[in-house]
Structure 1
């Protein structure tokens, strides 16, 4: 009987606990009523109702004083603990609603680690230390699939993305040409795209980034030649490693220029070059604060 009444009180009448604690701490109904910003008669009625529901007397009442019974003393300890837990639960709910706590699953392309991702993650963790981040490296196509399935919440990828997803471009720049150290093109101050007509290319696989692959082929065709594709690779780091090995030249995002700096020379192509964009993607309609906060930081990443 006690357990049932106790649970019913906690679930449906938390205000009874607040009234009881006020009276127990003041040991004076008038002072407790003043503290609760109510009149004394309704407070007395609420305490009587609580005692009836519990089936025990919580207070000894005389005209001169109010004292806790043994049952009341025990109940006070538990009531305080319950109210504290309720306050804690409410605080957690508010923090979760504002994106201060929770879990966020992020997919990212490897090249995002050259600049955008470390800055955004560092700032996000500084602002929201209560959020656990789970990061997984994966290609743009895999991120698109994972976002659609709900396996990840955020993608840091190469736009565009498919329907059902939203994307914000956070970086866009012309690619630079990675050239093996000692190659004749590395000695040139100015390079046009046509100067690469007879030089082997190393391309990032179309499976990894179809847009860049197609742009390079299209720009070369517009300049009057088909690119001599000597090798393809799945990651930019591998692409630049193959350039360092002398396999060929490659268009890469400017953020890649610190890779293999001793073995690779980076040059700007004067006339035309493909664009490299980096974006943050999320599911259409996902309005969670966790996602919104990450996107907001990503949009301003260059300020941090």
Structure 2
């Protein structure tokens, strides 16, 4: 049996208000058409649903049974429509993002602040993870998008879009301040303790490849879980390490650390957006994606 949804919608209002006239007024429809639709519904279901009197209508026992189900279904549908309506206007919704620490501080916080001020009704769920962890969460549907740093190692159906380029600088603490007096090749610094993110990060993969290009093994004396820890350890003279320029600025300005200049070029990296092309974005995530892509800070070339 295939009964029109419109018939059930009309039935809901007639039964709720026990009046064809009131239902017609609410639905902005003519009473004769309302009556015709209910006659058709009774015919299709093979039973009487209403008892018609001069005062209005009442439900038959069969009508009561049907209304108990239709009322729940219709009110759930209406609630869903209202929820979608508020989502469309971005008055509500959830935005889930997996992000690496460098991407969080280098771009994402600024964009989230602007987005949250414009759409305060959107709830934010931010997972601070390594790039591989963020991409794994994206593949598993645990986050809507990932904002991470290159290299990402993303493969189809994941798609990577560069957003902002950044450079990293080599820094040392007070004990290594003498290294700031001249420029060095990488191979000249291997005698000093080196601090780096752990092997499960793409930053480690980036520097491992860089060192190999210069014929050097990457053998960090200390591996950390976060970029903040690199800065803290460098400040306390546990070694030298690379840090994104913007994250090192304040410590450099205060003289807590010193930049060690290199003759070898350290390639630029990028903060990028990664999406799962097999999975459509919800309304909130789609809007935030537009905010990221309209940021005007993307590099001119692709990675």
Task: Answer whether TM exceeds 0.5 for this pair.
Answer: yes
CA contact (8 A) 2:18 2:58 kept: no
1:144 corresponds in structure 2 to: 135
Deviation by residue 1:81-103 (Cα, 9 ceiling, x = unmatched): 98776543222234557876444
Cα distance between partner residues in 2 of 1:88 and 1:172: 44
Q: Who is 1:203 aligned against? A: 196
1:176: Cα distance to partner?
2.0
Cα pair 1:9 1:16 within 8 Å, conserved: no
2-structure distance, mates of 1:34, 1:260 = 67
Task: Supply the distance in 2 between the matched residues of 1:110 and 1:193 (Cα, whole angstroms).
Answer: 28
Partners of 1:132 and 1:249 lie apart in 2 by 39
Partner of residue 156, structure 1? 147
CA offsets per residue over residues 65-84 of structure 1, 9 Å max, x none?
xx435769xx9xx9999877
1:57 aligns with 2:45: no
Q: How far does the alpha carbon of each residue in 1:192-247 deviate from its partner, in whole angstroms, 9 at most, with x for none?
A: 4428823623233342223431354146x27xx77784433232111111211123
TM superposition score normalised by structure 2 = 0.69
Q: Which of 236, 239, 245 is matched with 2:230 structurally? A: 239
State the partner residue of 2:241.
250
Summarize the Cα distance change of 1:193–1:174 in structure 2 as closer, same or farther, 3 Å threshold: farther
Aligned to 1:88: 79
> CA shift at 1:136, angstroms?
2.1
Root mean square deviation of aligned Cα? 4.3
Measured after TM superposition, the shift of residue 170 of structure 1 is 1.6
Point out the structure with max Rg over C-alpha: 1
Q: How does 1:25-64 map to 2 (within 5 A)?
A: 35-36=28-29, 38=30, 41-48=32-39, 55-60=49-54
1:264 aligns with 2:257: yes
Separation (CA, whole Å) in 2 of partners of 1:247 and 1:28: 78
Unmatched 5+ stretches in structure 1: 1-7, 61-66
Deviation at residue 119 of structure 1 after TM alignment: 2.0
Shift of 1:35: 4.3
Specify the SS of the correspondent of 1:115.
helix
User: For the Cα contact (< 8 Å) 1:174–1:276, is it kept in 2?
Assistant: yes
**Partners of 1:226 and 1:34 in 2: CA distance:** 75
SS across alignment from 1:122:
helix
In structure 2, list runs of 5 or more residues that go unmatched.
298-303
Moved more, 86-95 or 13-22: 13-22
Please report how far the alpha carbon of residue 127 of structure 1 lies from its aligned counterpart in structure 2 after TM superposition. Answer: 4.3
The 10-residue stretch of structure 1 (11-20 or 143-152) with the greater mean CA deviation from structure 2: 11-20
SS of 2:231 mapped into structure 1: helix
1:68 aligns to 2:86 (yes or no) = no
Instruction: Give yes or no for contact 2:99–2:126 (8 Å, CA) kept in 1.
Output: yes
Distance 1:84 1:179, change over 3 A: same
* Contact 2:167–2:244 (Cα < 8 Å) also in 1: yes
Shift of 1:256: 0.9
Choose the corresponding residue for 1:280, options 273, 277, 281: 273
Structure 1 residue 141, shift from structure 2 partner: 1.8
Using the TM superposition, name which of 14-23 and 242-251 deviates more: 14-23
Note if contact 1:51-1:58 (Cα within 8 Å) is conserved in structure 2. Answer: no
